[in-house]
Chain A
């Protein structure tokens, strides 16, 4: 299980849940509540408006109904009232005045009441007088049935409005007998006014209806007074009134026959031809049915079943409102008003549509506002996150600078610059940061330290040559910062990508040259980094520190080179002669040992400890062979030690301690000589052991640092060395990973990494020593 796979789901869930609740659910719920409230208010408003509109509609229709009923009543009333007045008046006046009064009354009524068409007066003796409107305008025709013998004729006398006789003529009456007319016969036995069926009046082809009343005069005669009322006026009135958009009204009698209707005006024209041949409007033709007036027929059925009032009927999928009422002063007539429901509900529908539109608009705006609110919250949250990230980054940079500032020996080139690369990775989030230093006047570059952030490992010591990376070297030497997103496709860094970056699969490269006042000393390389512009100061800081380190390293190497040359020159002069052995525990000693007086602290001692394990011996011959082998090895060690000018080689049982650098002045070349000696000894041991058919039974450990030692014993014949350097060298020898290995401390590695190849074994903690690294010395570069 790798660390990348370790997730704490609880923390993430809580954060996500909190963010979701705060930035999405709460605003959404609030918006939904607001929308719900608006919708509720809208629906309530709609219901109230709808109910109000329906009530208003009903009131309007009832008012219309009352108005129409009143109008129809007013239309008919003069006839019925006139009949009553005239009959009473004619019944009690003297016979001589009856005709005159009749004419006067009728003429006056015809002048004042336009819907009246004519008046009749007849008795049981067959006397008949008639007043009607003449065909000429503003003229009245007084007609009297005259019987002279067998000759029966009508005497027409025309009067104008002022009562002047205009014309008089006669017209044959044929067999006309008023007592055989329906209006006369129907009144027999009737109490009050009797209405006859409508008919078309011959004179002007108007649809008229006759009301008749029978009365007895004082002289013992029985009279029938009749009045014709034109229904055209009533139909015209019904045609003129507006009931909704498509409303219609009709008056029917108690048997369902049409009395007046909008389309009754066209009836005379429809029946004109039939009238001419003697046909008339029959009761059957006026009877309401589904064939002629389906909707009114249904409305009348509704009236018959439910009685007067309002109701709904449906015809061909459409709903109609029916209002029915009985007309006063009529012969049981019924007023039917039919209106399509949509005419009156259109107001309510419009009101509803308006309310819905209003609610819809508010909901859309509220949703929009809610969305904007959520968006704004998320943006604010994103902004806060960016600010928090910036704050964290600034804190991280400050921490990095602090780490560098408190790191001991950050300018000391012998101490590995791990803090620099670690903090670079930390600040720039790079996958890997490495410091490279030019060697040998720019022909080579050595990696001082390379830190892989993902693996948390430091490596270094490997070199690249100008011949391999010509363009990369040239780019670095230009001294400019280079940012390359795809190193594999840039000519300057193709080779670097192949040699260095491909190993861990990085692609982006940031190059920061490390410049001293004289020249470019090296380069800081970041792989897959995301450096921010404001982090340039941190890069400048790190490159400046690296520059100081590289310069110091350069000076140290120059000094070491001079000293090495001087030592070799001095040794050459003395002919490499060694003094005779003075100490019984030493296999080899240098001439400088003679000058050792007492004990002393040496600052830079290189110690090589070689440990041997016991091989298995089974007989005396084996022991003799082993002793011979040990002696051969001792001779080899002595030869190599002398060759490498070690200070002394001390034998102690299974252990051999080689030392160098026990001089008053620090011997910078001592560690190099010890390392060379260790490599040579290992080669010699392996060769000798393999010749003796033995496994490598030795291990070597090297450390470099201060130690103390000197002459011991009463005669001072024993030289010994102590200190942490010796202990660590022993620890290194005793803890090698395999036999035949040279294990060194990180102090040795730091000094020798430019000249030898090492393999890291890892980081270890030892009590009283702290954390350190162990390396395996492989060979010389």
Chain B
């Protein structure tokens, strides 16, 4: 599989998502995200943000148009290639994503273990370093239901940034987090953009994090019933 990182990292080209599968309006969505860019997408309903992130991840079937990630159309890839490509996406989602029956460190590494061939030892080390960066004494080994919400938020950051993802799909991240964690998170996002990752920041317009990261946003869009509409930055 040959990927392209010189052109647009993520491109929605008149992509019309299936209304039955997603609930999104069946209108053409257009968006282009270059490496290192951060697109802020203003949403009024956070569940729509999750669905839109699914569209970007190739999880929602399209009625027409296409969604290309790293130059590859999700619809034209085979299952193995799709899985491999998804290993290059980091997500912080509002959807319930911590299974109760496995410890947090496994849940953090699960995405990379599934989508990539990186060894568990390497992932363990990288995750531990990230965990310390986000204010955890180490990589949590307890079950998610025994952790506080804020520590789970930290673990979400670790999971999203594990494996140096090329695309970060962030759904209203760090809402209500302490300043130290926000700082660490913004540092990590900036580092990711520095090495060429693109960021799709999905949040409500008035969210705290949006205000924090206003300066770092390269473009801003609004998810409406007519599709993505460009709005003024700042």
Decide if A and B are genuine partners. Answer: yes
A132 within 8 A of B: no
Query: What 1/0 mask marks residues of chain A from 436 to 459 whose CB sits below 8 Å from any chain B CB?
Result: 000000000000000000011100
Tell me if A737 and B150 are in contact (CB < 8 A): yes
Tell me if B135 and A766 are in contact (CB < 8 A): no
Query: What 1/0 mask marks residues of chain A from 94 to 125 whose CB sits below 8 Å from any chain B CB?
Result: 00000000000000000000000000000000
**Minimum C-beta distance from B14 to chain A (A):** 38
Tell me if A764 and B141 are in contact (CB < 8 A): yes
B20 within 8 A of A: no
Q: Which residues of A contact B (CB under 8 A)?
A: 1-3, 6, 455-457, 613, 695, 699, 731-732, 734-739, 743, 761-767, 769, 771-772, 774
B179 neighbours in A (Cβ, 8 Å): 613, 695, 739
A695 to B180, CA, bound (A): 12
- Chain B contact residue count (CB 8 A cutoff): 27
A774 to B136, CA, bound (A): 10
Tell me if B137 and A766 are in contact (CB < 8 A): yes
The segment from B44-52, B70-78, B124-132 that touches chain A is B124-132
Q: Could you pull out 20 A-B pairs where Cβ atoms are within 8 angstroms?
A: A3-B101, A699-B180, A731-B132, A731-B138, A734-B132, A737-B150, A738-B150, A761-B137, A762-B141, A762-B146, A763-B142, A764-B131, A764-B136, A764-B137, A764-B140, A765-B128, A767-B128, A769-B138, A771-B141, A774-B138
A6 to B125, CA, bound (A): 30
A763 to B138, CA, bound (A): 8
**Minimum C-beta distance from A755 to chain B (A):** 23
Tell me if A765 and B151 are in contact (CB < 8 A): no
Q: Which residues of B contact A (CB under 8 A)?
A: 99-101, 105, 124-125, 128-129, 131-132, 135-143, 146-148, 150-151, 178-180
Tell me if B132 and A765 are in contact (CB < 8 A): no
A738 neighbours in B (Cβ, 8 Å): 150, 178
**Minimum C-beta distance from B24 to chain A (A):** 26
Tell me if B178 and A739 are in contact (CB < 8 A): yes
A50 to B99, CA, bound (A): 75
A738 to B180, CA, bound (A): 8
**Minimum C-beta distance from B124 to chain A (A):** 7
Closest 3 CB pairs of A and B: A764-B138, A766-B138, A3-B101
A739 neighbours in B (Cβ, 8 Å): 178-180
Tell me if A766 and B132 are in contact (CB < 8 A): yes
B132 neighbours in A (Cβ, 8 Å): 731, 734-735, 766
Closest A residue to B125 by CB, please name it: A767
Q: Give the one of A695, A699, A737 with max B CB within 10 A.
A: A737
A774 to B139, CA, bound (A): 11
Closest A residue to B136 by CB, please name it: A735
Given A6-B101, A738-B178, 4 new contacts (CB under 8 A):
A457-B142, A735-B138, A737-B135, A739-B180
Known A739-B178, A762-B147, A766-B137; contact A2-B101, beta-carbon cutoff 8 A: yes
**Minimum C-beta distance from A758 to chain B (A):** 14
B180 neighbours in A (Cβ, 8 Å): 613, 699, 739
A455 neighbours in B (Cβ, 8 Å): 146
A734 to B129, CA, bound (A): 13
B131 neighbours in A (Cβ, 8 Å): 764
A734 to B134, CA, bound (A): 9
Closest A residue to B121 by CB, please name it: A767
A765 to B125, CA, bound (A): 10
A691 to B122, CA, bound (A): 47
Tell me if A734 and B135 are in contact (CB < 8 A): yes
**Minimum C-beta distance from A695 to chain B (A):** 8
B146 neighbours in A (Cβ, 8 Å): 455, 457, 762
**Minimum C-beta distance from B108 to chain A (A):** 11
Known A764-B136, A764-B140, A767-B128; contact A737-B151, beta-carbon cutoff 8 A: yes
A762 to B101, CA, bound (A): 16
Closest B residue to A762 by CB, please name it: B142
A6 to B99, CA, bound (A): 11
A398 to B234, CA, bound (A): 67
Tell me if A3 and B140 are in contact (CB < 8 A): no
Closest B residue to A732 by CB, please name it: B137
Tell me if B137 and A735 are in contact (CB < 8 A): yes
Known A456-B143, A737-B150; contact A765-B101, beta-carbon cutoff 8 A: no
Tell me if B128 and A1 are in contact (CB < 8 A): no
A54 to B140, CA, bound (A): 92
A762 to B143, CA, bound (A): 9
Q: Give the one of A2, A457, A695, A764 with max B CB within 10 A.
A: A764
Tell me if A736 and B101 are in contact (CB < 8 A): no
Q: Give the one of B125, B137, B150 with max A CB within 10 A.
A: B137
Closest B residue to A771 by CB, please name it: B141
B136 neighbours in A (Cβ, 8 Å): 735, 764
A736 to B143, CA, bound (A): 19
Known A613-B180, A731-B132, A762-B151; contact A3-B138, beta-carbon cutoff 8 A: no
Known A737-B148, A762-B142, A767-B128; contact A774-B137, beta-carbon cutoff 8 A: yes
A771 neighbours in B (Cβ, 8 Å): 138, 141
A766 to B125, CA, bound (A): 8
Tell me if A762 and B140 are in contact (CB < 8 A): yes
Closest B residue to A699 by CB, please name it: B180
Closest B residue to A775 by CB, please name it: B137
A699 to B135, CA, bound (A): 11
B140 neighbours in A (Cβ, 8 Å): 762-765
Tell me if A765 and B135 are in contact (CB < 8 A): no
A735 to B151, CA, bound (A): 10
A743 neighbours in B (Cβ, 8 Å): 137
A457 neighbours in B (Cβ, 8 Å): 142, 146
A577 to B136, CA, bound (A): 41
B100 neighbours in A (Cβ, 8 Å): 1-3
B147 neighbours in A (Cβ, 8 Å): 762
**Minimum C-beta distance from A418 to chain B (A):** 14
Tell me if B105 and A765 are in contact (CB < 8 A): yes
A734 neighbours in B (Cβ, 8 Å): 132, 135
A761 to B136, CA, bound (A): 10
Q: Give the one of B135, B136, B148, B150 with max A CB within 10 A.
A: B136
A731 to B139, CA, bound (A): 13
Known A731-B132, A737-B150, A739-B178; contact A764-B139, beta-carbon cutoff 8 A: yes
**Minimum C-beta distance from B12 to chain A (A):** 32
Closest A residue to B139 by CB, please name it: A765
**Minimum C-beta distance from B50 to chain A (A):** 18
Closest B residue to A769 by CB, please name it: B138
Tell me if B141 and A763 are in contact (CB < 8 A): yes
**Minimum C-beta distance from A450 to chain B (A):** 15
A6 neighbours in B (Cβ, 8 Å): 101
A769 neighbours in B (Cβ, 8 Å): 138
**Minimum C-beta distance from B118 to chain A (A):** 16
Tell me if B151 and A761 are in contact (CB < 8 A): yes
A699 to B132, CA, bound (A): 14
**Minimum C-beta distance from B155 to chain A (A):** 10
Closest B residue to A456 by CB, please name it: B143
A2 neighbours in B (Cβ, 8 Å): 100-101
A734 to B166, CA, bound (A): 28
**Minimum C-beta distance from B137 to chain A (A):** 4
A127 to B128, CA, bound (A): 155
A735 to B135, CA, bound (A): 4
A456 to B132, CA, bound (A): 24
Tell me if B139 and A736 are in contact (CB < 8 A): no
**Minimum C-beta distance from A183 to chain B (A):** 116
Tell me if B178 and A731 are in contact (CB < 8 A): no
A731 to B147, CA, bound (A): 19
Closest B residue to A745 by CB, please name it: B137
**Minimum C-beta distance from B100 to chain A (A):** 5
A646 to B124, CA, bound (A): 38
A6 to B101, CA, bound (A): 8
A769 to B124, CA, bound (A): 13
A476 to B105, CA, bound (A): 42
A736 to B124, CA, bound (A): 21
A767 neighbours in B (Cβ, 8 Å): 124-125, 128-129
